[in-house]
Amino acid sequence: MSDSLILEVHDLVVNVLTGIYSQETHLPQPLRISISTTLDMHPYYAPDTPLSASKNYMTLKEAVTKLPEGVHFTLIEAVADHIMDTLFADDPRISNIVVKIVKLAIAEDNEAIGITMSRCRK
């Protein structure tokens, strides 16, 4: 097993056009999205190691916060797929991505109802 680096961005809340029910298809609904990405790790991180030896966390955040406007994702699984496609295309060092999406609008007692998807680079 090789060394790896896991970069994470958790609990971003974004409004996304998603859903199958009539009350969901006209207005964006809030989703809480978390991402973990596994990257090949640099051999050693000295105090002066440049950012290029890792990954800018903001690219993870942007994959979530800059979803295409006006696109209706029928399933939240499609939202996760879009995020994964964006991140895999952005950096060949990413070997695995986990995306967790919680649908906030359907929670009644603060439950976390949603999905977790994991994909390895093919």
pLDDT of residue 97: 98
Count the alpha carbons within 13 Å of 1 in the hemisphere toward its beta carbon: 3
How far apart are the C-alpha atoms of 87 and 33, rounded to whole Å?
14
Closest CA to 104 of 7, 6, 14: 14
CB atoms closer than 10 angstroms to residue 24: 17
Instruction: Please report, in angstroms and rounded to a whole number, the separation of the first and last CA atoms in the chain.
Output: 18
Say if pTM beats, i.e. exceeds, 0.85.
yes
How far apart are the C-alpha atoms of 73 and 99, rounded to whole Å?
15
pLDDT in tens, 25-72: 678 999 999 999 999 888 888 999 998 888 899 999 999 999 998 899
**What DSSP string runs through 85-102?**
HHHHHH-TTEEEEEEEEE
pLDDT of residue 103: 93
Check whether 78 has a pLDDT greater than 90: yes
Domains of the chain in sequence order: 4-120 (3.30.1130.10)
Q: How confident is the model at residue 90 (pLDDT cuts 50, 70, 90)?
A: very high
What is the three-class DSSP state of 15?
strand
